[in-house]
Amino acid sequence: MSNLIQQAISPGLVRILLNRPEAFNSLSESLLDELQESLREISNNNDIRVVILAASGKAFCAGHDLKEMMQAPSEAYYQSLFRKCTEMMLTVQGMPQPVIAQVQGVATAAGCQLVAMCDLAVASEDAKFAVSGINLGLFCSTPGVALSRNLLRKHALELLLTGEFLSAADAREKGLVNRVVPAEQLEEQTIALAKTILNKPIEAVRLGKQLFYRQIEQPIREAYKDAGSVMACNMMDKDALEGVQAFIDKRRPAWSGTQ
């Protein structure tokens, strides 16, 4: 059985399914490799415009595969493993397509990190989130990088220091997920959100995602300079010119490439 399944949902929309349900979709090395390869291929495919990251079984992702991690402990091995995971997480954020996490069950440790690194997240009402490494004597350092960029500092540090679970409702309130829906509507509502983005001009979405993350890390003056340059280039795109003219003409825009 494959660790990863890629499914075409509709034109421009692809779902990647973590497929280790018997291991709560924990991130084994092979799954990390497959996920990285899939994300890279998608990032270079202009026909794919939005990605849903989902999981089979009862859990979204329980973090790293601890059994695998304990087979041959060494600092060099752990450095390599966490570097591999970091590259995958950065690929999620760096790819031009928006990535939406579809979360059911638990998302813990690196699984919670993966939700935080996705651009958007929809969770079922029964979903739970935690960075519980501290309970094993291990501070979840790399998940902390993602959490501290999604939650207020004190909220993030409380989760990291206590290892306590966060309900789906609290996760939405604190900024980790966008929407919480009944479990039976999770797939439907996630796809609906994806299709809303599919109906926006492709260039604006791609430029916007890349600029959004880049400017967050910049001093404010540099951020404004970067944003102004991107907006000027975006304004010259044919869809932006069409959109503005349509607004002036009080008609619906005829954008290219939308569903």
Q: Are residues 136 and 178 in the same domain?
A: yes
Question: What digits encode the pLDDT tens for the residues 191-219?
Answer: 999 999 999 999 999 999 999 999 999 99
Question: Band of the pLDDT at 181, cuts 50, 70, 90?
Answer: very high
Whole domain around residue 215: which residue ranges? 202-249
CATH code for the domain of 142: 3.90.226.10
Q: Are residues 110 and 123 in the same domain?
A: yes
Backbone angles phi, psi at 73, to 5 degrees: -65, 130
Look at residue 255 and tell me whether its pLDDT is greater than 90.
no
Question: Band of the pLDDT at 258, cuts 50, 70, 90?
Answer: low
Question: Band of the pLDDT at 172, cuts 50, 70, 90?
Answer: very high
**Predicted pLDDT of residue 257:** 67
CB contact at 8 A, 115 and 94: no
Report the distance separating Cα 145 and Cα 128, nearest Å: 19
Domain count, the chain: 2
Of 86, 94, 103, nearest to 143 (Cα)? Answer: 86
Look at residue 125 and tell me whether its pLDDT is greater than 80.
yes
**Predicted pLDDT of residue 235:** 87
Q: Are residues 190 and 207 in the same domain?
A: no
Q: Are residues 221 and 135 in the same domain?
A: no
Of 108, 87, 4, 2, nearest to 51 (Cα)? Answer: 4
Question: What digits encode the pLDDT tens for the residues 97-109?
Answer: 999 999 999 999 9
Looking at residues 171-200, what average pLDDT do you find? Answer: 97
Report the distance separating Cα 9 and Cα 246, nearest Å: 30
Q: Are residues 243 and 126 in the same domain?
A: no
Backbone angles phi, psi at 101, to 5 degrees: -80, 135
Q: Within the chain, how many helices (H) and strands (E) appear? A: 11, 9
Cβ neighbours around 240 below 10 Å, total: 19
Question: What digits encode the pLDDT tens for the residues 218-236?
Answer: 999 999 999 999 999 998 9
Of 183, 209, 8, nearest to 103 (Cα)? Answer: 183
Question: What digits encode the pLDDT tens for the residues 12-70?
Answer: 999 999 999 999 999 999 999 999 999 999 999 999 999 999 999 999 999 999 999 99
Cβ neighbours around 151 below 10 Å, total: 19
**Predicted pLDDT of residue 198:** 96
Looking at residues 127-134, what average pLDDT do you find? Answer: 97
Q: Are residues 243 and 127 in the same domain?
A: no
Q: Are residues 215 and 236 in the same domain?
A: yes
Backbone angles phi, psi at 115, to 5 degrees: -60, -45
What is the per-residue burial (b if ≥16 Cβ within 10 Å, else e) of 179-193? bbbeeeebbebbbeb
Angle at 81 between CA 214 and CA 104, to 5 degrees: 70
Structure token digits, residue 84:
């591999």
Pairing of strands 99-103, 128-130: unpaired
Tell whether 206 is covered by a domain: yes
DSSP 135: G
Report the distance separating Cα 30 and Cα 221, nearest Å: 42
Average pLDDT, the chain: 96
